[in-house]
């Protein structure tokens, strides 16, 4: 497969670079600076991007470019620190900038800006974030752009196909950043637009069949996007050699068990086993109010249930997980060091070592939006692939305080009505996550001519990109009014509804 490598020098924008490349239908991987040259040679690498990073090139232990990269004959684009590292390696001079640049700047192209700036106007807005600057270019390079504070805003050596930009073309604030990246990808490297979901499915299924052979694979199917898409892809590759275990722990949303059964029944060839473990989980959680204790109890009990069920299945050799590419990237060090651990997931944490199974992660090359796209291509219903994130411990962390079947039922019904109404209002896909929370307090109310003393439900809806930061979503007043009326009138045991307007930070998205 045609591949572009992104050398990770610790930039906070690495995933953005990868997303811009993938959006152009070109496959890419993020790799550490010490990636073995032989590993690169063994792939069909047609271009390399050197990322930015927080270090100074003269700083002790700052990441450096392996000189062997330049001997591969592959086109190279250095971004910010990547440009400075190229200059340093090739005999140029990097120094502290007299005037640091952070944020928007006007990029002015040279008289002959070269192929990298094809289709870019002479003046445009770019995004800067640097304290060092290239003071002198290496021999053979030409300046192709500047800003008011940086006389070397970009340079190139077209004969060796080496390019550098001091700004960040990957961020949305760089007006023609995507054009610059695409000029490098297509006009310099010669990539084809071959990264499509159909191609991915074909290649991934072939790889899975080659690895698994006639052995069986077990997967903990939670009903979330990642595990559902992993199950669909594995099913296409190996059919009924895939055994999916869905554990109903009593902490699921309304009708979730039936939704998962319907989503897979008749559509996919797999062995789906549904385990009713509601009594066991709720018994262990009785009287527990501390959220961390809840999480630990649920995690341990899940492993016990999963392990018991797996022991009944003969000839299982592989454990599948819905690990995504951000999980892989986040497990590396600041400068892209080798992965120390596989990020554990709530539904299979600790199982690979315990069960001595080989791990298979069919989605580990994909971002979240690509995973959703893959699910749609495979035929999963939108109710699964487009759903909001759901916490591993389920409703246990949305029932604040003690968990009882009665309190879970109140929350389940309130949450269902909340989601129904935001869907009806056309808001669901505009919100990153929405849910109801049952508070551990009761309030005085009046229903008819009678005094009530019943539960309070809090509603939470946020916008976000990755969950790291979030802002509350402004649901129109008339929609909130309808949601509140339905919950109070239709859910027995609730007489008050409140709306959470906290951002993250300082609050978190979930309440526990």
Locus of tokens 């190996």? 238
Q: Is the pLDDT of residue 264 over 90?
A: no
Long-range contacts of 259-263 (CB under 8 A, 24+ apart): 259/223, 259/383, 259/384, 260/221, 260/223, 260/228, 260/384, 263/228, 263/380, 263/381, 263/383, 263/384
Whether residue 80 lies in the annotated active site: yes
Q: Which of 130, 168, 301, 309 is catalytic?
A: 168
Tens digits of per-residue pLDDT, 397-451?
Answer: 999 999 999 999 999 999 999 999 999 999 999 999 999 999 999 998 877 767 8
468-479 as b/e: b if 16+ CB within 10 A: eebebbebeeee
pLDDT score of 337: 41
| pLDDT higher at 343 or 484 | 484
Mean pLDDT of 271-286: 94
Q: How is 360-388 classified by DSSP, letter by letter?
A: E-TTTT--HHHHHHHHHHHT--HHHHTPP
Tens digits of per-residue pLDDT, 5-21?
Answer: 999 998 888 888 998 99
Tens digits of per-residue pLDDT, 202-211?
Answer: 989 999 999 9
Q: How far apart are the first and last CA of the chain?
A: 43
pLDDT score of 344: 36
Burial class (CB within 10 angstroms; exposed 0-12, middle 13-18, buried 19+) of 65: buried
Locus of tokens 């496959």? 27
Report percent pLDDT > 90 for the chain: 68
**ω into residue 505 within 30 of 0, thus cis?**
yes
Q: Is the pLDDT of residue 348 over 60?
A: no
Lowest mean pLDDT among 135-139, 241-245, 445-449: 445-449
User: What residue spans of 10-153 are helical by DSSP H?
Assistant: 14-23, 37-41, 81-89
Burial class (CB within 10 angstroms; exposed 0-12, middle 13-18, buried 19+) of 177: buried
Locus of tokens 């246990």? 396
Q: Is the pLDDT of residue 190 over 80?
A: yes
CA neighbor of 233 nearest in space, from 211, 257, 202: 202
Average pLDDT value for the chain:
89
**Residues 6 or more apart in contact with residue 324 via CB below 8 angstroms:** 226, 363, 364, 366, 367, 368, 371
Locus of tokens 């949601």? 483
Whether residue 421 lies in the annotated active site: no
Locus of tokens 């959006």? 23
Mean pLDDT of 160-172: 94
Distance (Å, whole) CA 115 – CA 136: 22
pLDDT score of 342: 29
CB atoms within 10 A of CB 486: 18
Q: Is the pLDDT of residue 137 over 90?
A: yes
pLDDT score of 354: 54
What's the Cα-to-Cα distance from 10 to each of 30, 35, 172, rounded to whole Å?
11, 14, 19
Mean pLDDT of 335-339: 39
pLDDT score of 72: 94
Confidence of residue 102 (pLDDT cuts 50, 70, 90): confident
Distance (Å, whole) CA 15 – CA 222: 26
Q: Is the pLDDT of residue 462 over 60?
A: yes
3-state DSSP helix/strand/coil percent for the chain, to nearest 5? 35, 25, 40
Q: Is the pLDDT of residue 495 over 80?
A: yes
pLDDT score of 332: 52
Q: Is the pLDDT of residue 468 over 90?
A: no
Whether residue 93 lies in the annotated active site: no
Q: Which of 170, 301, 365, 413 is catalytic?
A: 170
CA neighbor of 6 nearest in space, from 141, 185, 145: 185
Locus of tokens 């056309």? 426
* Residue 471, both tokens: 């802002």
Distance (Å, whole) CA 64 – CA 464: 34
Mean pLDDT of 466-493: 93
- Contact between 82 and 49 (Cβ < 8 Å): yes
Confidence of residue 315 (pLDDT cuts 50, 70, 90): confident
Mean pLDDT of 319-335: 71
Confidence of residue 341 (pLDDT cuts 50, 70, 90): very low
Mean pLDDT of 378-407: 93
Q: What is the largest CA-CA distance in the chain?
A: 88
pLDDT score of 330: 59
Cα radius of gyration rounded to whole Å, the chain: 26
Question: Considering the entire predicted model, what is its pTM?
Answer: 0.77
Distance (Å, whole) CA 144 – CA 153: 7
Burial class (CB within 10 angstroms; exposed 0-12, middle 13-18, buried 19+) of 219: buried
């Amino acid at each position: 497969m045609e591949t572009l490598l992104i050398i990770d020098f610790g930039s906070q924008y690495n995933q953005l670079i990868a997303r811009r490349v993938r959006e152009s239908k070109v496959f890419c991987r993020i790799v550490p600076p010490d990636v073995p040259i032989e590993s690169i040679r063994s792939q069909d690498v047609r271009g390399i991007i050197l990322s930015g990073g927080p270090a100074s090139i003269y700083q002790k232990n700052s990441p450096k470019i392996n000189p062997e990269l330049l001997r591969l004959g592959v086109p190279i684009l250095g971004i910010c620190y990547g440009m400075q590292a190229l200059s340093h390696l090739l005999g140029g001079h990097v120094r502290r900038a007299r005037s640091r640049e952070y944020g928007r700047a006007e990029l002015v192209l040279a008289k002959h800006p070269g192929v990298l700036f094809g289709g870019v106007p002479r003046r445009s807005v770019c995004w800067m974030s640097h304290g060092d600057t290239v003071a002198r270019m290496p021999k053979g390079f030409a300046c192709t752009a500047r800003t008011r504070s940086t006389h070397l805003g970009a340079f190139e050596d077209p004969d060796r196909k080496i390019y550098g930009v001091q700004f960040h073309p990957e961020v949305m604030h760089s007006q023609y950043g995507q054009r610059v990246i695409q000029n490098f990808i297509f006009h310099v490297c010669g990539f084809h637009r071959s990264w499509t979901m159909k191609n991915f499915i074909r290649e991934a299924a072939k790889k899975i069949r080659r690895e698994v052979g006639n052995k069986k694979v077990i997967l903990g199917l939670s009903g979330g996007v990642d595990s559902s898409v992993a199950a669909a892809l594995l099913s296409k590759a190996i059919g009924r050699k895939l055994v999916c275990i869905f554990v109903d722990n009593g902490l699921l949303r309304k009708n979730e068990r039936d939704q998962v059964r319907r989503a897979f029944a008749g559509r996919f060839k797999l062995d789906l086993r549904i385990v009713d473990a509601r009594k066991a989980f709720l018994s262990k959680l009785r009287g527990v109010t501390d959220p961390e204790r809840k999480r630990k109890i649920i995690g341990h009990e899940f492993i016990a249930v999963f392990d018991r069920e797996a022991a009944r299945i003969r000839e299982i050799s592989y454990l599948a997980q819905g690990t995504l590419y951000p999980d892989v990237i986040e497990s590396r060090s600041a400068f892209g060091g080798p992965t120390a651990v596989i990020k554990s997931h709530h539904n299979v944490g600790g199982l690979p070592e315990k069960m001595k199974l080989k791990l298979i992660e069919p989605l580990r090359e994909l971002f979240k939006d690509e995973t959703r796209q893959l699910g749609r291509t495979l035929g999963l219903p939108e109710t699964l692939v487009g759903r909001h994130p759901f916490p591993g411990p389920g409703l246990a962390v949305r029932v604040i305080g003690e968990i009882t079947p009665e309190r879970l039922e109140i929350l389940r019904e309130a949450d269902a009505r909340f989601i129904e109404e935001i869907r009806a209002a056309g808001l669901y896909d505009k919100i990153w996550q929405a849910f109801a929370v049952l508070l551990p307090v009761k309030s005085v109310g009046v229903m008819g001519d009678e005094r009530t003393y019943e539960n309070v439900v809090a509603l939470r809806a946020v916008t976000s990109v990755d969950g790291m930061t979030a802002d509350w979503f402004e649901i129109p007043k008339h929609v909130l009014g309808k949601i509140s009326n339905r919950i109070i009138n239709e859910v027995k045991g609730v007489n008050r509804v409140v709306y959470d307007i906290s951002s993250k930070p300082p609050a978190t998205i979930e309440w526990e």
